[in-house]
Amino acid sequence: MPSLDQQTFKLKELQSLKGHTDRVWSLAWNPASGSNGVPAILASCSGDKTVRIWQQRTPSSTSFHCKAVLEDRHDRTVRSCAWSPSGKQLATASFDATTAIWEEIGDEFECVSTLEGHENEVKSVSWNASGSLLATCSRDKCVWIWEVLPGNEFDCISVLTGHTQDVKMVQWHPTVDVLFSCSYDNTIKVWAEDGDSDDWRCVQTLSESNSGHTSTVWALSFNVTGDKMVTCSDDLTIKVWGVDIIRLQSGDVNASWCHLCTMSGYHDRTIFSVHWSREGIIATGAADDAIRLFVESEDHSVDGPSYKLLLKKEKAHTMDINSVQWSPTGNMLLASASDDATIKIWKLESMR
Amino acid sequence: MSPALINANPVVYEKKERPVRTRPGDAAFDEYATELIDQLEDPEHPYSLEELKVITEDAVEVDDKRSYVRVTFTPTVEHCSMATIIGLCLRVKLMRSLPSRFKVDIKVAPGTHATEDAVNKQLNDKERVAAALENPNLVDMVDECLTPSFE
């Protein structure tokens, strides 16, 4: 079986999901769905102030229908959504400065909790691997960490300052409780709990001086093992970073991330989203309406890993792409969300 | 918003006679885009932005084939805090008037503003613009700037 970088692929459009009446900002696949006979579930959030839940009609069909519309809760754009690891709860972050927690009760989704505290627009929300912690970030330059308690209680345990501008996204590491944030200040910050004092602090900043980005960093994503991370930016590049994962997993929060590779010259407009699949394919969604896929190249003539463009899908949407997300079930399904108010489901197929 | 005008005595230039463009494809859109911009009012003054030399025709680049528009504008005063508002008005006007396939970049003319990089970054951050346009006070101000005044 030839390696990924030796095969030719095409991205086949399976379905276009319509319903939102304004741009779709973010997508999240429910991690407890899409396998073992459970139909796949996808959440989307929009400038129309609603969140939509889409479900596959049957586990084997690829046809999604809109199962629910979560409305009348946020009174401004819903910018980001994230499922808890158990798949039982959905957190939605809004420009209205709140984060709502939803649960499916019977046939309906109900808002079971509201997290307040940010001074202005909340841009992103992320659950840690065990579902015990939640992180949010905002234009107020802060990152908040919340502890998930029984009875749908969420207690703020830390307000992290350090970014000098709008924080665009937060993402927990897939295996250890280390938090990452990226910002309009062009940096990526790594936050961890200080062993002794239980205080959360910034343990590393990836800036221009350590081969970092030279403009707003919009998103970050980890590979399945968590030893690599990819970031995307308004500077038209995506960068891959690596860490000594053994050190990190042994509890050394100071295990530092270093720059491995910069992919430049592939994008000519802002890259809003990047997502690393379990099989190792990096997908990007950009402001030129295109989806691009990258894989690690088997070419070992350079120091360290290098990545090559696997395919470019031009005009994937008719407007900017804001989010690309691989389905977690390893069936090569990719979802994309756009300013054109649609979500598209794609299948990556190998051409023989 | 402070009622005192920041730039009480702007220099007013005569409207430039528009030369006939011969480039096919681009010409119609160049004129179209410029006319839209013509209708804008400087938030502080009733003259159109072109009359105040905030936008000149050369500073509107249109590439129809690539669905791309770039507007470069000169704020009337170097420290003009209204630069962001003017830029936002331009963006809204173009957003409302051009087909959705167009990608628009709005920049302050190099060397004409003290914090041009900061202003440019904000004006071209789609998420910041979207959030700003959800602020009713800001939208009212923009709408007022975009309403042509009848002399």
B16 in a domain, yes or no?
Answer: no
H or E stretch covering A238 = strand A238-242
Average pLDDT, chain B: 76
Residue of A nearest to B131 (CA): A95
Q: What is the DSSP code string of A112-178?
A: EEEE---SS-EEEEEE-TTSSEEEEEETTS-EEEEEEETTTEEEEEEEE---SS-EEEEEE-SSSS-
Taking the C-alpha atoms of residue A32 and residue B130, their distance in angstroms, rounded to an integer, is 33
H or E stretch covering A201 = strand A200-206
CB contact under 8 A, B121 and A76: no
- CATH number of the domain residue B91 falls in: 3.30.300.130
B151 in a domain, yes or no?
Answer: no
> Residue range B88-115: average pLDDT?
88
Q: Are A138 and A145 spatial neighbours (Cβ–Cβ below 8 Å)? A: no
B58 in a domain, yes or no?
Answer: yes
CB contact under 8 A, A269 and B103: yes
CB contact under 8 A, B131 and A121: yes
CB contact under 8 A, B131 and A184: no
- Out of A76, A319, A339, closest to residue B134 by CB: A76
Q: Which two tokens stand for residue A40?
A: 């796949």
B21 in a domain, yes or no?
Answer: no
pLDDT band at B3, cuts 50/70/90?
A: very low
Q: Which residue has 């890993």 as its token pair?
A: A305
Chain B positions in Cβ-Cβ contact with residue A216 (cut-off 8 Å): 121, 125
CB contact under 8 A, B126 and A320: yes
For the stretch A19-54, pLDDT in tens is 999 999 999 999 999 888 889 999 999 999 999 999
B89 in a domain, yes or no?
Answer: yes
Q: Residue B96's Cα: distance from chain center in Å? A: 13
Q: What is the DSSP code string of chain B?
A: --SS-SSSS---PPPPPPPPP--TTHHHHHHHHHHHHHT-B-TT-SSBTTTTTSS-GGGEEEETTTTEEEEEE--SSTT-TTHHHHHHHHHHHHHHHS-TT-EEEEEEPTTS-TTHHHHHHHHT-HHHHHHHTT-HHHHHHHHHHHSPP--
H or E stretch covering A248 = helix A245-249
Average pLDDT, chain A: 95
For the stretch A78-115, pLDDT in tens is 999 999 999 999 999 999 999 999 999 988 999 999 99
B82 in a domain, yes or no?
Answer: yes
Work out the percent of chain B whose per-residue pLDDT is above 90: 23
Taking the C-alpha atoms of residue A33 and residue A41, their distance in angstroms, rounded to an integer, is 6
The backbone torsions φ and ψ at residue B33, rounded to the nearest 5 degrees and listed phi first, read: -65, -45
For the stretch A176-224, pLDDT in tens is 999 999 999 999 999 999 877 779 999 999 999 999 999 999 999 999 9
B87 in a domain, yes or no?
Answer: yes
Residue of A nearest to B120 (CA): A215
Give A251: exposed, middle or buried? Use CB within 10 Å, 0-12, 13-18, 19+: exposed
| Number of domains within chain B | 1
For the stretch B5-62, pLDDT in tens is 666 666 666 655 544 333 334 556 566 666 766 666 666 666 666 666 666 666 888 8
Biggest distance spanned by C-alpha atoms of chain A: 57
A326 to chain B, any CB pair closer than 8 A? The answer is no
The Cβ of residue A277 has, within 10 Å, a number of other Cβ atoms equal to 22
* Prediction pTM value: 0.91
Q: What is the domain extent for residue B46? A: 29-146
Residue in B147, B50, B48, B51 with CA at minimum distance from that of residue B93: B147
Chain A positions in Cβ-Cβ contact with residue B132 (cut-off 8 Å): none
Chains A & B: contacts with CB separation below 8 Å: 35
Taking the C-alpha atoms of residue A276 and residue A278, their distance in angstroms, rounded to an integer, is 7
H or E stretch covering A15 = strand A8-17
Taking the C-alpha atoms of residue A190 and residue A168, their distance in angstroms, rounded to an integer, is 14
> Does residue A210 sit in helix, strand or coil?
helix
The Cβ of residue B143 has, within 10 Å, a number of other Cβ atoms equal to 11
B81 in a domain, yes or no?
Answer: yes
